[in-house]
Amino acid sequence: FMSYQASVDFGVANAGRLVKEGGAEAVKLEGGKRHADLVARITEIGIPVMGHIGLTPQSSHVMGGFKTQGRDEDTWAFHEADAKAVSEAGAFAIVLEGMVDPLAAKITKSIDIPTIAIGASADCDGQILVLEDMLGLNPRPPKFVKVYGDLLNEIENSVRRYAEDVKDRSFPTEDQVYR
């Protein structure tokens, strides 16, 4: 948040820092047409950029929260223009987040770079989920998440058993101490 929104120069400088100091091999920027100039400038200096349109978490407060994008077909042209602008500005791929399936599928067919879905369409070129969500660490994952594990309960049970063992002095045993 606010690492690139203030100006193109500010965004370029911070993208450079992420690569130089942070070891990043690319940067991801939320926003479509409004940040196309920044995408173009960053790619011109040799830093790969992944775009991110649809539901953009960094600006969810101005979107009225985490709301599915494209439910109203009248908004589709806006999202399509965002995808086109980011693609033409030189991004190597675009994340489509929280977007109705038919819109995401249409965007995927209309641009020449890969689309990565998070809560979008199976027709996108790739899929991504937040690790904590898919492993069951989030007690209320978003609707689009398929939960592949129940680590929250496993962690809670493990911590509870540890605390019980400490309280009843069954931990540590001779096997866990140095002599």
- Residues carrying an active site annotation: 97
Number of neighbouring beta carbons within 10 Å of residue 126: 11
In 3-state terms, the chain is what percent helix, strand and coil (to 5)? 45, 15, 40
Assess whether the previous peptide bond of 102 is cis (omega < 30° from 0): no
Q: CA angle 107-114-11, nearest 5°?
A: 95
If 0-12 CB within 10 Å is exposed, 13-18 middle and 19+ buried, where does residue 103 land?
buried
The first and second tokens of residue 150, run together, are 């129940």
C-alpha torsion angle, residues 76, 101, 147, 61 (rounded to 10)? 10
